[in-house]
Amino acid sequence: MAAGKGKVIKASYSKSFGNRVVIDHGNGYRTLYAHLKGFAKGIKQGSRVSQGQTIGYLGNTGLSTARHLHYEVHKNGRVINPLKMKQPSNIQLIGDDLFAFKAHITAVNKRYAATIVSPSDSTSSIVTVIAE
């Protein structure tokens, strides 16, 4: 699925990446999805996509050795770590929505804190994180 809205600039085969889709999201951001089995209906160069839209299917094409998705995020032509991206949001929560969001975060933090195993606990060294 597309990580964000944008314009498909490539939906084609390449020797190393196999079937791949490259989406331009604007402001210098692009995402790459590679080794796809095939493309979703209507996905071609010039197509507009929305966040969460299916763009292709998990595969094992190109120089892949097993079925998987190769995913990259580029900023101004350089690969960046998508887990460290700090994107500004156009959404500003206020009132009841802000209160509900903060309550949810507090509940998640409490569940997470309850799963941390102390290094002095000799009965277990596994840390479990519960996510919804």
**Topology classification of domain 6-84:** Glucose Permease (Domain IIA) (2.70.70)
**pLDDT class of 117 with cuts at 50, 70, 90:** low
Q: Which H or E element spans position 76? A: none
Determine the number of helices (DSSP H) and then strands (DSSP E) in the chain: 1, 8
Boundaries of every domain in the chain: 6-84, 89-132
Q: Give the three-state DSSP class for 69.
A: coil
Q: What is the pLDDT of residues 5-44, one digit of tens each?
A: 999 999 999 999 999 999 999 989 999 999 999 999 999 9
Q: In the prediction, which pLDDT does 32 show?
A: 97
Query: Residue 85 pLDDT more than 90?
Result: no
Q: Which of 12, 4, 1 is nearest to 44 (CA)?
A: 12
